Amino acid sequence: MRAPRRHRERIEDNGEVTGAIATAQLVIFDLDGTLTDSADGIVASFLHALGHIGAAVPEGDLTARIVGPPMDDTLRTLLGESAEQAIAAFRAEYGARGWAMNTPFDGIEALLGDLRAEGVRLAVATSKLEPTARRILAHFGLDRHFEVIAGAAPDGSRKTKEEVLAHALQQLAPLPERVLMVGDRSHDVDGAAAHGIDTVVVGWGYGRADTFGEVTHAATVDELRRALGV
């Protein structure tokens, strides 16, 4: 299913065009850090969850550490046996208040509209719980652009990016020849690669501490437009 590389510019971190990526017929977007700036609500809900069980706040850049990967995994790694209470507290706080501390990145809605006008199919694949992802996208009126919105299952049966992408791709069948992922974290790249899909990594998200291999980077929405050919 890997797309042949043709017809579109490859953009490096410094903004230089150095090659080509496939003209995508289907683009699958991550949500947090790609379509919307959700860091404030996620970090606030995370701190609430830690406070709920009396756990210490880890040092360092919380946004880069916790926004993007499955929160259940993050809390279990950090808290061990105390994680389940924290997970419940996080979900309650995020569902009540944190989800609304969120805004689409500038230029995203226009980009989505232009891609659809060009006949490109669009979908979302996020590690966020699927009902919450649908709620956020509907709140901002972005849901109308997407054929499929796929997220993690509330019962934990589907949570990694690879699993969420499998869920999305199943619903999107039959798949076109050229499929592309757009995300901001290394788990977006790895999850897509497991399905033979290339990724454009955006520079406005939360992956500043991540290590990426040979991928296409778009520092701005305008550069992403160039990469996608709209």
Residues 218 and 136 in one domain: yes
Residues 177 and 115 in one domain: yes
Looking only at Cα atoms, what is the longest distance across the chain? 54
What's the pLDDT at 3?
Answer: 38
Residues 136/31, Cβ–Cβ less than 8 Å: yes
Give a yes or no: residue 216 inside a domain.
Answer: yes
Residues 157/68, Cβ–Cβ less than 8 Å: no
Burial track 57-72 (b if 16+ CB lie within 10 A, e otherwise): eeeeeebbbbbbbbbb
Q: What are phi and psi of 193, to 5 degrees?
A: -60, -30
Residues 53 and 133 in one domain: no
Residues of the chain with pLDDT under 50: 1-7, 11, 13, 15-20
Quote the number of domains for the chain. 2
Q: Could you tell me the residue range of the domain that residue 210 belongs to?
A: 8-37+103-228
Give the whole-angstrom CA distance, residue 39 versus residue 25: 30
Give the pTM: 0.86
Contacts of 204 (CB under 8 A, 6+ apart): 33, 105, 184, 219, 220, 221
What's the pLDDT at 17?
Answer: 36
What is the number of H-type helices and E-type strands within the chain? 9, 10
Q: Among 100, 133, 148, give the residue marking a domain's end.
A: 100
- If 0-12 CB within 10 Å is exposed, 13-18 middle and 19+ buried, where does residue 162 land? middle
Active site residues: 30
What's the pLDDT at 7?
Answer: 46
What's the pLDDT at 125?
Answer: 98
Give a yes or no: residue 3 inside a domain.
Answer: no
Residues 70 and 178 in one domain: no
What's the pLDDT at 210?
Answer: 74
Residues 74 and 107 in one domain: no
CATH number, domain at 90? Answer: 1.10.150.240
Q: Report DSSP letters for 110-122, one per residue.
A: HHHHHHHHTT-EE
What's the pLDDT at 9?
Answer: 53
Query: Model confidence over 136-146: pLDDT tens digits?
Result: 999 999 999 99
Strand blocks (E) in 6-146: 8-11, 17-21, 26-29, 36-37, 103-104, 121-129
Residues 89 and 156 in one domain: no
Give the whole-angstrom CA distance, residue 36 versus residue 34: 6
Residues 92 and 134 in one domain: no
What's the pLDDT at 19?
Answer: 39
What's the pLDDT at 12?
Answer: 52
Read off the tokens for 206: 């939360």
What's the pLDDT at 165?
Answer: 98
